[in-house]
Amino acid sequence: MGSHFFDGANPKRHDIEPDIGPDGIAFETERGALAWRYGDLIRLWDYRPAAHLAFTHKRHQDSRLIIEETWATESIGRYAPQLIDRGSERWRQTGIGAAVAAGILALIAGLYFFVPPVMDRLARAMPWSFEAADRPDLDALAFMIGERCTAERPNEILRGLVGGLLRTAEFPHPITVDVTSSRMVNALTFAGGRIVLLRGLIERARSPNELAAVIGHEIGHVVHRDHTERWMRQNALGAVSILLFGFDGTSTIGQTVFETGLSLSFSRDSEQDADRYALRLLNRLDLDPSGGAEFFERMKAKGNISSLLPDYFSTHPNSDGRAVFFREQGTGTRQALTPEDWLILKRICDRTD
């Protein structure tokens, strides 16, 4: 037995006499002379017996070079101790791993701190026609959020309330606000300036100013182009996720946590901006902001799932903080509707299409 070589092209074993030098290992084969530099060798640590050394080459990883002679292994140890001492290899791998981890952390930090403002600017510069083309039809949404509520007088009152908010907003593109028959307590903003209030929200609201605060918040999402920004952000995160985790048609846990964690953090910024925008509208119209504060206080008291999660994993800012913000920063005193009109508006779903 002695040192031998497999070229990887076929299973034939080539017996060799290695020439161990300070720069590498030279040997003769039937096809000619080869010289493998130590820097190009990859040690195969699991080869047995452990007293023998097994290598492959960085550029020819199907090949195998087996060194069995004691004098040869000792010579390699003198010239290239990193190929003998696995501890050195572990430190090298640790250094590579640390460098990769630092690079990933730097990339994530860049996404977290720098991508959101860039995406926000790009989204606001995007032509409105980009969003308008994706504006959904209410009939197409009916299976999910119910039919449009069409009671005539309540809708007139709603249009008056919305019109005052939109004139104050001075947004140059059309925004529509409709109510649908779903009993869920929610408000939704879609592409192209379509805002939908669900019936449950109207029924649970205790004052017209609660409703005005919610509508102002959704108008803020439209004005800030959050729908476009979200679309751009998700595509950017998806591309980076593929670079980091690869793509095989399924999502790994790491990939899901990466995309979800960053996406949620950006969403909270959008929600806070929409709150600030809503409060500016209320203040300009001299509307009492306590309605908005009471709405968020009830959200917290109700104990919905978002109140059970840490702030980091919630798509909305903490309800307590939002209520305090509306109470401390609001300056208005008026109610958005008369008591009579408010009672009529709450019957908006007596009729639906």
- The answer to whether residue 96 is domain-embedded is no
Residue range of the domain that includes 59: 4-84
pLDDT at 171: 93
pLDDT at 86: 73
Nearest Cα to Cα of residue 281 among 339, 225, 336:
336
State which of 28, 61, 84 marks the end of a domain. Answer: 84
Q: Tokens 């430190």, residue? A: 91
Who has greater pLDDT, 30 or 187?
Answer: 187
- The answer to whether residue 111 is domain-embedded is no
Clarify whether residues 330 and 279 are in a common domain. yes
Q: Count CA atoms within 13 Å of residue 177 on its CB side.
A: 27
Average pLDDT, integer, range 164-192: 93
pLDDT band at residue 257 using 50, 70 and 90 as cut-offs = very low
Tokens representing residue 94 in the block: 């640790």
Clarify whether residues 304 and 205 are in a common domain. yes
- The answer to whether residue 224 is domain-embedded is yes
Instruction: Give the dihedral of Cα atoms 334, 340, 343, 344; nearest 10 deg.
Output: -120
Clarify whether residues 168 and 66 are in a common domain. no
pLDDT band at residue 266 using 50, 70 and 90 as cut-offs = very low
Q: Tokens 């529509």, residue? A: 176
Tell me the C-alpha distance between 109 and 127, whole Å.
29
Clarify whether residues 214 and 270 are in a common domain. yes
- The answer to whether residue 14 is domain-embedded is yes
Domain count, the chain: 2
pLDDT in tens, 334-351: 999 999 999 999 999 998
Tell me the C-alpha distance between 273 and 275, whole Å.
5
Q: Count CA atoms within 13 Å of residue 192 on its CB side.
A: 10
pLDDT at 247: 54
- E strands, the chain, where? 4-6, 14-15, 19-20, 24-29, 32-37, 41-43, 53-57, 60-67, 176-180, 187-190, 194-198
Contacts of 148 (CB under 8 A, 6+ apart): 138, 142, 178, 179, 180, 181, 352, 353
pLDDT in tens, 108-124: 666 656 666 666 777 77
Average pLDDT, integer, range 139-162: 94
Average pLDDT, integer, range 122-128: 79
- Counting beta carbons within 10 angstroms of the beta carbon of residue 116, is it exposed (0 to 12), middle (13 to 18) or buried (19 or more)? middle
- The answer to whether residue 108 is domain-embedded is no
Note whether 55 and 64 are within 8 A (CB): yes
Highest mean pLDDT pick, 112-116, 144-148, 310-314, 327-331 = 144-148
Clarify whether residues 143 and 9 are in a common domain. no
- The answer to whether residue 52 is domain-embedded is yes
Clarify whether residues 215 and 341 are in a common domain. yes
Clarify whether residues 42 and 161 are in a common domain. no
Clarify whether residues 68 and 123 are in a common domain. no
- The answer to whether residue 100 is domain-embedded is no
Who has greater pLDDT, 326 or 311?
Answer: 326
pLDDT at 89: 55
Cβ count within 10 A of residue 17: 11
pLDDT above 70 coverage of the chain, percent: 76
CATH number at residue 25: 2.30.29
Clarify whether residues 156 and 50 are in a common domain. no
- The answer to whether residue 10 is domain-embedded is yes
Average pLDDT, integer, range 83-104: 69
Clarify whether residues 123 and 79 are in a common domain. no
pLDDT in tens, 23-82: 999 999 887 899 999 999 999 988 888 889 999 999 888 899 999 999 999 999 999 988
pLDDT at 319: 60
Clarify whether residues 77 and 191 are in a common domain. no
Clarify whether residues 215 and 265 are in a common domain. yes
